[in-house]
Amino acid sequence: MRHILLQIIAGACLLAFGTSMGIAQDRDHDRDSWYQSRDAFFHEQHWKAHMFQRVREDLDRVQANTFSGRDEFRITRTKDQLGELQSKLASNQYDQPELDEVIGGLQRIVDSNKLTPRDREMLTDDLSRLRDYREHHADWR
């Protein structure tokens, strides 16, 4: 009887371990899919027209996966600044000081938040694209 009980417990442990591994693999696959989708976005023909929305989505993703407190405050503040910038750009108003605030906020997130290496790389890429926009906004299409 004791032998059977040990077999049942061992089987339950293996099932639980296998299930948790499957969930972790699904989560890793979903994460990889998201990053692959993001990379594909920048290979599309008209990505520049949607770049600010993409930066917002990247910030949303980091915010969902980051710690709270000052880290989250920086992200929320940068998203607010990005929203103000997008409103002005939608009205055909280029506001370099506002763009500089967004770039500065994003730089503080990259420098100060507890990010995964992949998220840090993603936001650093966003920074590069925002700086490129600042330098070439008149020709940006």
pTM for this prediction: 0.71
CB 52 within 8 A of CB 43: no
The answer to whether residue 24 scores a pLDDT higher than 50 is: no
Residue 31 to residue 76: CA distance in whole angstroms: 22
pLDDT in tens, 68-98: 777 888 999 999 999 999 999 999 999 999 9
